[in-house]
A and B are shown apart, each in its own frame.
Chain A
């Protein structure tokens, strides 16, 4: 329909003419975007209206009896701690994996290795939880003991070491494994899209493989890696079941990673308390959900700022 119409228009007027197909398509695209904003506004309105009673209640009525601030504070610390460990461990590993698959692995098996890493994303978080509880935590007990014996001068490893290994450190590592496929999948995609001309030019100038990657691939893929890391961070911040199952939580705010008294995380605290919560307890939990929302917001603003400081290498801008 549009195809028959197009030739009749003089090419010089192309900017002015809007084809019906174009209008519908652009409208659908814009509409979807606005729809997402509406959904988010709905979620936010729901969160705020449900959290309001807890925000306005007197501090004695909040579970714990010391006000919303002291209820949420350890949870914030726990949430950030777990997510930061996960990000610090997972991002370099994910970049390494993505580079290995795109530029180092033998061509024939590279695709297969991609599937294998994607498999990690396929594992439901409940399974991660039980694996962490039954397999990883007991395996890490000697490591906890060792850090408590040798590294206790670092506040992060002050000890005393947990006897079961169900610590913030273990949780951080499990979260790292969970977000690894997210970051590496996106990193892989952008690395493999690095312009062949740039890569070939670097190699032709005598660069080693690493120098080629450093000069042609990494700058190109940087924004993608950061985007992937942010997606991973979002998952790590909001991860519920795995943390709830593994972490021995409920303690005060501390950055000591290896004891059995850890601050819980916001999401896992909601999951653990929500089923039996009543009245203001529910509002308090939803208020903590609102805090998580705000944290994600802050983290994303930071990430955006980091990405935007560098000129985009995108082909579409």
Chain B
């Protein structure tokens, strides 16, 4: 019996020692962060900010947020930053409940939420900054077709199931020079509730009202059809299925073909510049506060410089926070996010479009106004 107990003690202590050894050595890349000599920002001037900064919301921003966090913590290593990619709805809810200092959301606050958010901000103003702009590309996998032009009505026809083969006259009319095979079209949509679907169906609803009659929604409004979970899911399915077509963040196209979309008589590719341009020129939502830059995207743009299928994800926060630390942290973070460095870092990691100078200037007014009180 003694021997057995000895063995048990030995086994347990070995396991414990192994865990402790692993814990004791620490992560290689974190060891020097406390001293402030991490120096990722280049300038090396680390400033006096501390405490926690928690955000939650849209998972579409996750990759960009990683880049922002890396840059932000290079400048302010003592701030405990976290972002839960729990979803836009959860993000807005947690912000309103006061769980987080700011929210990331694929949709602006609605009237009711706006009132609640103002209450959460001590009756003060709320800021909504369109800081993450990502063009949504229509991607396809069709052997032998490298370039494809599509008009809104054709896209609506394909995704509603009215157009079933690739050599359909409607597609041929958009692509007079291409040789289209008779492959069956497999349209793939998002199975989860997503801002991407919301923006895509909103575009179809506005640009092809005759063909697409379902109201825009984060959930795919039609029943049936091929559904996949998340951007990775739809891309994976389209990549492995010949004749499949889907909509997803343009940066994730990889080897898939990307269709040009008809805008004002021309066919426009989903470039970052064209996406930023449409956001800049879209009208602001009415009846909002001074620092609320929520916009109504102009899907019906006629300018060939603009690409209308765009996902805009906002950062939502208070102009006035209860305590100084929260205000300073949010201010510093937003300052970095809208800076050229911040936008470039996000674009490199996430492939989104950088905001234009006009958008930056307007966001700056909101950031400058953030105070504690």
Contact = CB atoms under 8 A, between A and B. Distances in A.
Interface in A221-276: 244-245, 247-252, 260-261, 264, 272-276
Contacts of B218: 276
B192 A273 contact: yes
Given A245-B229, A276-B88, A277-B89, A250 B220 contact: yes
B226 A272 contact: no
Instruction: Give chain A's interface secondary structure class.
Output: loop
Q: Chain A, interface size: which category?
A: 20 to 34
B240 A276 contact: no
Interface string B203-222: 00000000000000011100
Contacts of A248: 191, 225-228, 237
Given A138-B240, A277-B193, A251 B89 contact: no
Interface string B254-282: 00000000000000000000000000000
A300 interface: no
Interface stretch (A9-17, A34-42, A159-167): A159-167
A273 B218 CA distance: 9
Contacts of B30: none
Interface in A135-190: 138, 162-164, 166
B226 A162 contact: yes
Contact of A163 (B90, B193, B241): B241
B77 interface: no
Interface in A93-128: none
B195 A276 contact: yes
Contacts of B240: 134, 138, 164
A166 B236 CA distance: 12
A276 B89 contact: yes
Contacts of B243: 163
Contact of B224 (A164, A245, A261, A275): A261
Contacts of B87: 274-277
B149 interface: no
B227 A250 contact: yes
B227 A249 contact: yes
A63 interface: yes
Contact of B225 (A260, A273, A274, A281): A260
A2 interface: no
A273 to B, nearest CB: 5
A252 B226 CA distance: 13
B167 to A, nearest CB: 17
A106 B362 CA distance: 76
Nearest to B224: A261
Interface string B89-114: 11011000000000000100000000
A275 B195 CA distance: 11
B224 A252 contact: yes
A275 B224 CA distance: 22
B237 A164 contact: yes
A308 interface: no
Interface in A263-311: 264, 272-278, 281-282
B313 interface: no
Given A275-B89, A276-B87, A244 B237 contact: no
B241 A164 contact: yes
A163 B219 contact: no
A133 interface: yes
Contacts of B219: 63, 273
B186 interface: yes
Given A164-B186, A273-B193, A244 B229 contact: yes
A281 B240 CA distance: 33
Contacts of A276: 87-90, 106, 192-195, 218
B223 interface: yes
Given A248-B227, A261-B224, A264-B191, A278 B241 contact: no
A164 B226 contact: yes
Contact of A166 (B195, B224, B226): B226
B300 interface: no
B90 A134 contact: no
Contacts of B193: 272-273, 275-277
A138 B219 CA distance: 26
A261 to B, nearest CB: 3
Contacts of B153: none
Nearest to A63: B219
Chain B CB within 10 Å — which of A138, A166, A249 has the most? A166
A106 B331 CA distance: 69
Interface string B63-93: 0000000000000000000000011111011
Interface in B159-176: none
Interface string B222-249: 0111111100010011001101100000
B59 interface: yes
Contacts of A138: 240
Interface of B: 59, 86-90, 92-93, 106, 184, 186, 191-195, 218-220, 223-229, 233, 236-237, 240-241, 243-244
24 contacts: A163-B186, A163-B243, A164-B186, A164-B240, A166-B226, A166-B237, A244-B229, A245-B233, A247-B227, A248-B227, A250-B224, A250-B225, A251-B225, A261-B225, A264-B191, A272-B191, A272-B229, A273-B192, A275-B89, A276-B192, A276-B193, A276-B194, A276-B195, A282-B89
> Shortest 8 CB-CB distances between A and B: which pairs?
A275-B87, A261-B224, A276-B193, A272-B192, A278-B89, A251-B224, A260-B226, A273-B193
Given A244-B192, A275-B90, 18 more contacts: A133-B237, A134-B240, A164-B237, A164-B244, A166-B226, A166-B237, A244-B229, A248-B226, A249-B191, A251-B224, A260-B224, A261-B225, A274-B90, A275-B192, A276-B192, A278-B89, A281-B89, A282-B89
